[in-house]
Structure 1
Amino acid sequence: MNQRTCLSVILAAGEGTRMKSALPKVLHQIAGLPMVSHVVKAAEAAGATGVALVIGHGSDEMRKAAAKFAPEAETFVQEKRLGTAHAVIAARAAISKGYDDVLVMFGDTPLIDADTLTVARLRLAEGAAVVVIGFRPPNPTGYGRLIEKGGKLIAIREEKDCSEEERKIGFCNAGMMAVAGAHALKLLDAVDNKNAKGEYYLTDIVEIAGAQGLDVVATEASFESALGINNRAELAQAEAIWQQRRRHEAMLSGVTLIAPETVYFSHDTEIGADTIVEPNVWFGPGVMVASGAKIHAFSHIEGATIASNCDVGPFARLRPGADLRNKAKVGNFCEVKQAVIEEGAKVNHLTYIGDARVGAGANIGAGTITCNYDGYSKFFTDIGEGAFIGSNSSLVAPVTIGNGGYIASGSVITESVPDDALAFGRARQKTIPGKGKELRERFASAAAAKKKAAGADH
């Protein structure tokens, strides 16, 4: 099995008009990854050594996307949509390379799992020429039924053509199949379009193979794995299923999710054992969390690295490039972007740190911001080890705060501060006795006069 070559032909030419979107259907995302990318990943996990992507005419957007999520994939255009077999044969050049196995998949079934595909490939290795993947939907109405006899699949019968007894069959066609490479082109070329729609149906190869004395069998996928997406309601359903699977996997690997149904993972989220995640946390793409971290409620994390024993949130936002080192803390209502928070440093509350380094053990007071952008370019702020930045300070980049530097609260710092120095960047306070009372009386009198004048106008 390990030495058998495999081509995955992924049909992705549908426009998806029911999605009501200018974006091709298969590029709509599940867990931050296009649906068709999930299909490619499943195929590769099942041992596919080649990918042929069949797209529609003029799908430039699909070509560009394919270069990102499947850089090794060959793309083929189905110029006219004349049925599923016609779509597969569009990839003739790839199929003719002589792969042992050919998997035929659909770009809008993002929940298909590698195990299902692997089982189908195993049946090919055991001698089957065609393996049809079936499933048992809660309601089989509308699905083609898999007709079996003596352990062999003899036909796929569309519901309108089924007898009363055949309509009672709950085992239905999921659309996906595996075909022995040695027979693939011969079977596909034998499909004709002598039907009401004048289309070439992939399902016809079941009876064609049987008539040639070849073995045809069916394997079973779960209903969830075979779920196809046609509209945004089904897209949301698939997202919910994917998230439920990932949460379960995370908890079994040692992650505590206090309210799992409120935590959302991305397709590539990595999270270590003994991490605790409180309710309503969102992990966007590109997040790595080491063991023992604590992510408090209502935090939004994307493109960030969080080391062991860090403390994040509640209501924290970590943007791309945020790099928290061991035991660092980013507290409530803080935002970190493109910045390293070194070991034991604390960014506790109401703070923005962008394009910066916060040295080990430094403390950033509430309301501090790094002023990193002048409207045209970004600039760097370097805060040394053990530095103390007082509350409500503005650090105007480019600027360096030396190790052990101390910034007085309310300062605007525009020049670098040496190690262990104290810096003030604010106007000197002036106190005028009695002036507060005078201002209150003046403001009250003005407000009363304004109210009286407004009443006179009416």
Structure 2
Amino acid sequence: MPGSCRLGSGKGKSNMAESAQILGPFVKDAPVTSSRSPARPLAVIILAAGQGTRMKSARHKVLHPIAGRPMLLHLLASVAELQPERQVVVVGAGREQVERAVEGSGAVIAVQEQQLGTGHAVAQAHDALAGFAGDILILYGDVPLVRAETLRSMLDRLNWGDEPRAVVLGFRPEDAAAYGRIIARDQGVIEKMVEYKDANAEERAVTLCNSGLMAVRSTDLFVLLDQIGNDNAAGEYYLPDIVMLPGAQSAVIEAEAWEVAGVNSRAELAGVEAVWQDRRRAEAMRDGATLIAPETVFFAHDTLLGRDVTIEPNVVFGPGVSVADDATIHAFSHLEGATVGKGADIGPYARLRPGAKIGAKAKVGNFVEVKKAELGEGAKANHLSYIGDASVGAGANIGAGTITCNYDGFFKYRTEIGAGAFIGSNSALVAPVKIGDGAIVAAGSVVTQAVEADALCLVRPKQEAKPGWAARFRARMQARKAAK
């Protein structure tokens, strides 16, 4: 996308007066009341037809993840807050991948067979928007983290009294480099948009750059696209060219540079991830969680934390984790698809896999893995254990080295451990099996049958000692070795 920079999540305000404080001077100078009706229809066009060659990947560029979620789905989540009537994703290569990713989202696919520029790509959405009357947002699938608040502000500006032809989202990067420049006057009215290579020295000194994101009315968009040409070095139809067509004026509002950074390479993907994580860490601490070493904690897009949660260094959250108030996640733990109850204690070096449900004040200690299993209130698995496809009752104690043998090579089976049960160290519970409430399984047992409540289960051979056997064995073996 020529002259554009394409990044983050964060929380903002929804009314225009508060949005003005976020989005910069061109919003601040404008009226804070909006003529846009809440019922005015909205359509969204997301451009995702780029080849993504710099990613060097068989995966479509817009499906590479940020915080455990594909970039395109980040963008669709923001768009969903605006309740659009229609959503069109324009793709080129990799159509099947994108279709699978957006299934159930309400988005439809349009195909750009030839890559003839951003204006040409938008034109491919024409048929999918047949009969639509309202506002249209044009976004980019590799600019994943633009906020819903920013998109609302673009639509609000589109429908102020001066009714600009288009609203462009601008930004001021630390280094404007070769980005396209926007020359604007009061109220953000655009006087000129110019590509860096075509700009003079005075224009290059301007710091306001074009992100490429745009809002246009449906009655204008395709008419304007029919008027642009491809008389340029690349022979392509550029979407920004509609802004400078004769006739009505266009406007710009500003976003921070982090919000509109895009991804064209693995390095840029890592950069966007880093900014997203920094913002999420700040949000977590602002909302009442303690992060001992924030820069070492990594969240997923949907991580939920209660108040007074403590997270020690080097903790990684995969998707689908919620942590209740007062819980502690110790260092070097990994959680995914797990629920952690109030006051629970996890780690260090613990792994909670999908389906793990840890009850209030339960303990999952060092080098313990829990998968598709529930630990009741106050239950403990303190050391070196695997608890899979199981339920552990309240107050039960799982000794070091215990495993639930849940898989026979073909099927998974379930283990049930009752409330207050005690499982001795180095025991193997061969599922399907049930340990009753209050039962004790002696250390080193291999349990294959149900154990009734309050019983002692002892499954191991009688200990036998043979005096002097070890010394005789060593002497015999040493003599055999010396003879060779």
TM range (shorter): over 0.9
Partner of 2:352: 318
Q: Output the CA distance in 2 between the equivalents of 1:417 and 1:150.
A: 80
Check whether the contact 1:46–1:115 (CA below 8 A) recurs between aligned residues: no
CA contact (8 A) 2:422 2:440 kept: yes
1:190 corresponding residue in structure 2: 227
Give the C-alpha shift of residue 79 in structure 1: 1.3
- Seen in structure 2, the aligned counterparts of structure 1 residues 273 and 99 have a Cα distance that, compared at 3 Å, is farther
CA contact (8 A) 1:128 1:180 kept: no
1:242 aligns with 2:276: yes
Q: Specify the code of the residue in structure 2 equivalent to 1:204.
A: D
- 1:329–1:344: 8 Å Cα contact kept in structure 2? yes
Deviations 1:402-458 (A, max 9, x none): 1111101000001111111111111111012233333444455556x38xx6xxxxx
Q: Deviations over 1:5-42 (max 9, x none)?
A: 21111000112001111111111111111111111122
2:192 counterpart residue number: 155
Q: Secondary structure of the residue that 1:224 maps to in structure 2?
A: helix
For residue 286 of structure 1, what is the aligned residue in structure 2? Answer: 320
* Structure 2 residue identity aligned to 1:160: K
Q: Give the TM-score of the pair, scaled to structure 2.
A: 0.89
Equivalences for residues 42-53 of structure 1 within 5 A = 42-53=78-89
The 1:288/1:169 distance shift into structure 2, 3 A limit, reads same
Are residues 1:407 and 2:441 paired?
yes
Distance (whole Å) between structure 1 residues aligned to residue 275 and residue 42 of structure 2 = 28
Following the alignment from structure 1 to structure 2, what is the Cα–Cα distance between the partners of residues 250 and 98? Answer: 41
SS at match of 2:258: coil
What displacement does 1:303 show? 0.7
The equivalent of 1:207 in structure 2 is 244
1:111 shift after superposition = 2.6
Note if 1:128 corresponds to 2:164: yes
Partner Cα separation in structure 2 for residue 320 and residue 312 of structure 1: 15
Change (3 A) 1:128 1:47: farther
The residue number in structure 2 matching 1:23 is 59
Q: Show the counterpart of 1:83.
A: 117
Alignment partners' CA distance in 1, 2:164 and 2:359: 54
**Equivalent pair of 1:339/1:355 in contact (CA under 8 Å):** yes
| 2:387 alignment counterpart | 353
Residues 59-458 of structure 1 aligned to structure 2 (within 5 Å): 59-67=95-103, 71-126=105-160, 127-151=163-187, 152-208=189-245, 211-212=246-247, 214-443=248-477, 449=482
Per-residue deviation, 1:118: 1.6
Residues in 2 aligned to 1:272 and 1:374: alpha-carbon distance in whole angstroms: 38
SS of residue matched to 1:146: strand
Of residues 98-107 and 243-252 in structure 1, the stretch that sits farther from structure 2 once superposed is 98-107
- 1:259: how far off? 0.4
| TM superposition shift of 1:99 | 4.0
* In 2, Cα distance between equivalents of 1:134 and 1:150: 15
The ranges of structure 1 where at least 4 consecutive aligned residues each deviate by more than 3 angstroms after the TM superposition are 46-49, 94-97, 436-447
Matched residue SS, 1:60? helix
- Equivalent position to 1:9, from 45, 51, 56: 45
Per the alignment, residue 24 of structure 2 pairs with none
Partner of 2:9: none
C-alpha deviation, 1:203, in angstroms: 0.6
DSSP-derived class of the 2:178 partner: coil
After superposition, the C-alpha distances for 1:266-300 in whole angstroms (9 at most, x for unaligned) are 11111111110000000001111111110000001
Distance 1:5 1:359 in 2: 53
Q: Distance in 1 between matches of 2:152 and 2:311?
A: 34
Structure 1 residue matching 2:264: 3-state secondary structure:
coil
Any conservation in 2 of the 1:95–1:184 contact (CA below 8 Å)? Answer: no
Query: Residues 29-44 of structure 1: matches in 2 within 5 Å?
Result: 29-44=65-80
140-149 vs 237-246, greater mean Cα deviation: 140-149
Q: Distance in 2 between matches of 1:382 and 1:204?
A: 67
Deviations, residues 322-365 of structure 1 (Å, cap 9, x unaligned): 11111111110000001111111111110001011001111100
Q: Classify the secondary structure of the residue corresponding to 2:260.
A: coil
Alpha-carbon spacing, 1:189–1:131, altered in 2? closer, same or farther (3 Å): same
1:456 corresponds to: none
Identify the range of structure 1 (100-109 vs 111-120) with the bigger mean alpha-carbon deviation: 111-120
CA distance in 2, matches of 1:57, 1:293: 46
Query: Hey, what's the Cα distance between the residues in 2 that align with 1:414 and 1:9?
Result: 59
**Cα distance in structure 1, aligned partners of 2:105 and 2:391:** 35
Offset of residue 54 of structure 1: 0.5
Residue by residue, what CA displacement relative to the aligned partner does 1:161-196 show, whole Å, maximum 9, x if unpaired?
A: 111111111111111111122322222222222333
Q: Is the 8 Å Cα contact of residues 51 and 93 (structure 2) preserved in structure 1?
A: no
Measure how far apart 1:150 and its partner are. Answer: 4.7
Deviations 1:172-230 (A, max 9, x none): 1111111122322222222222333221110111012xx22x23110111111111111
Q: Distance in 1 between matches of 2:354 and 2:190?
A: 51
Residue 129 of structure 1 and its aligned partner are, at CA, apart by 2.6
Q: Is the 8 A contact 1:95 1:102 kept in 2?
A: no
Partners of 2:54 and 2:334 lie apart in 1 by: 31
Cα distance in 2, alignment partners of residues 281 and 57 from structure 1: 37
TM-score, normalization by structure 1? 0.94
Q: 1:58 to 1:32 in 2, by over 3 A?
A: closer
